[in-house]
Structures are given as structure tokens and as C-alpha cells.
Amino acid sequence: MMKIKFFSSSWSVTQSSVKLIRSLCSQISLPQVPENDSPLRIPENPNDVERAPNFSPTFNFASYINKSETLQQLLKLGVDLYKIERRKGLENFLLKLDFEHDMKHVIKFLHDQGISPDRLGQFLTKNPLIFKENCDDLQVRINYLESKKFQRDEIIRIIDNNPFWLMFSTQRIDKRLGFFQKSFYLTGREVRQLVCTAPRLITYSMEHIRMSTFSVKEEMGYETLEAKKLLLKIPKLWMINHDSLMERFDYVHKDMEISHEQLLKDPYILLSRTFRIRQRHDFLKYLGKAQYDPKKDLYISLKNLVVGSDEEFAINIARSSIPVYQNFLKTL
């Protein structure tokens, strides 16, 4: 068995956005900036900030748009400043940056890695702290993925779907991938599959991931190889709140009498909220159609029980009507 070794265990973007990206790519080259001399470093003395515009502390960008080139350029790129200003500290961080000196090279780097202009605004909205990073360090993190045999399109998908990935050093990523490989006996191909399917999971809270792993193996009762199947099928399971996950499992396993084996084959129901599962299951019981055994007639899969709108469920799955379903819900 071949294994890969991991050491230690709807954005609307205008034409001006595209033009700006093209302009950046043609005008600049990546600078060599020593980490300890980065203009993006957070100084020990908050009053000692180089290149900081003369702005007063604020909780709203609106009053600074007209006099800040940085904010104007971010708006052109499709960045949602309203979302950023709601996160403590980020508004002051951005106001202290100079677009030409502190941002252009990072934007060019992201574009060169495959982040398209229509996705760049969303990327920067989620992770404006990317401007704290040195481009040399960012390149090392891309090189690491290439060394682990990730294809170019896979790398683009990873950093596009998880804007925080590039904030993690290669050592931290390597340790986390090692944890998943060792804990679930993953092959190199399976590690890559997991990363590409759920890049957010790799940078998620390790404490939460360990708790979820314990819940799946010890509280739910799945063996390691069974837990591995669940992980590769629905890695999002490891990011669900612990109490919510166990509440869903207990209801499906005990109240609906679904076996471990059937849940392993059709686990997507665990991604749905308990009240939604209960409402639909009770309605099928009321109709005499709560039949989840694939070996019997009128079988309804666990996934079909929870997907789709209430109207789609009532008509296509329960073979009833939305008025009947809505009237039933009023009796609960």
C-alpha cells in the first residue's frame, strides 16, 4: 500500500475589478521583504505605525471611503467592507495599510496562484489578514502542496475554498495532515482526497476535531476503519457542534431504529438538524410510510428524507401535498 509521508503526524465584480487585476499583474513583481521588516507587522506600540493614514478610531468605513485609496481599491475588487468592519480590529488594520506598498504584491500573488478576479473579493473579505503574510512564505506553502503531489487545479481549489489555508505554516499543515493519516489509516491518495474535499477541516480547531473523533469512535461506536469511511464520505461531520451531532445520532439510531451499518452506508442524514429529521420522520409515520429498509417495498433512503424543500419532500418523497404536511406540523 503506497502512502504519502506527512512529517509529524454571490459576489458582483465590475469590469474595473478585472482591469485592476490585469494592471497589477503587468506593473509589479514580487518583492523580497524580510519578515522582521514587514510594513504589515503589528507594532508593540499601537501609536507607532508607519504609513498609517491620519484616521481616528471608528467602527464604520463609510466616512473614510472618499479619502482612502486603500478602501476604494478594495471596493473595486469586490471586497465587502461591511462584513470586515464587524470583526473587531480589522477595520484599523486595513486603514493602516498602503495599497501600493502593502497590498499589490499579495493581490498579484493570489491572482498568479489561480484566484480569479470574480472570486478575489470574497477571498479578501473572509481573510484580509492575508496582507500580514510575506509572499516568500506564501510561496513556500504552495510549494509544499506541490511536493505532496497535489495537482495545480487541486491547489487552486484548496486555497479558494479555504482562504485561511495560506495563513498556516508548512509545519502546522504537515502536523495536521499527519494526524488524519495516522488516526484513520489514510493512504496518500486518501489524504489528498480529504484535503481537496474539505480544506476547511484541515485548518479547523484541533481540539474540536479530536472531540469529534472521540464521539464517532467511542460514543457512536464505530471502529477506526468505519470512522475512516465516514470521514471520507462526509468530512463536514467533524466540524459539527458535538452536542448537535450526538443529538442527531441518538435520534436516528434509537428513535428511528437505524442501525450503525445503514448509517455508515447513508450517513448524510447526520448533516441535517434534528428538528427537521423528526418532523419529516413523524409525518411519514403518520402516513404509514416510514420505511427505511432497502430490502422492502416503498423504501425511502435516509438522504431523501432530509434533502430538498418541504414542498419537494411532501410531494416527491411522502407522496402527499404541502398543505397536508403544513397542517400536520401544526399538531406537533
What are the φ/ψ torsions at residue 198 (nearest 5 degrees)? -140, 70
Give the CA distances from residue 278 to residues 243, 255, 269, 275, 312, in Å, rounded to whole numbers and listed in that order. 17, 9, 11, 5, 17
Which pLDDT score is estimated for 64? 80
Tens digits of pLDDT across the chain (332 residues): 444 444 444 334 445 555 555 555 444 443 333 333 333 333 333 333 333 344 444 457 777 888 888 999 999 999 999 899 888 888 889 989 999 999 999 999 999 999 999 999 999 999 999 999 999 999 999 999 999 999 999 999 999 999 999 999 999 999 999 999 999 999 999 999 999 999 999 999 999 999 999 999 999 999 999 999 999 999 999 999 999 999 999 999 999 999 999 999 999 999 999 999 999 999 999 999 999 999 999 999 999 999 999 999 999 999 999 999 999 999 99
Core vs surface per residue 185-222: b (16+ CB within 10 A) or e: ebebebbbebbbbbbebbbbeeeebeebbebbbeebeb
How far apart (Å, rounded) are the C-alpha atoms in residues 231 and 317? 28
pTM here? 0.79
Q: What is the pLDDT of residues 195-224, one digit of tens each?
A: 999 999 999 999 999 999 999 999 999 999
* 92, three cell numbers: 484599523
Which pLDDT score is estimated for 88? 85
How far apart (Å, rounded) are the C-alpha atoms in residues 76 and 229? 44
Which pLDDT score is estimated for 13? 45
Which pLDDT score is estimated for 28? 42
Report which of 263, 305, 267 is spatially closest to residue 285, judged by C-alpha positions: 305
Q: Is 275 exposed, middle or buried (0-12, 13-18, 19+ CB in 10 A)?
A: exposed
Which pLDDT score is estimated for 20? 59
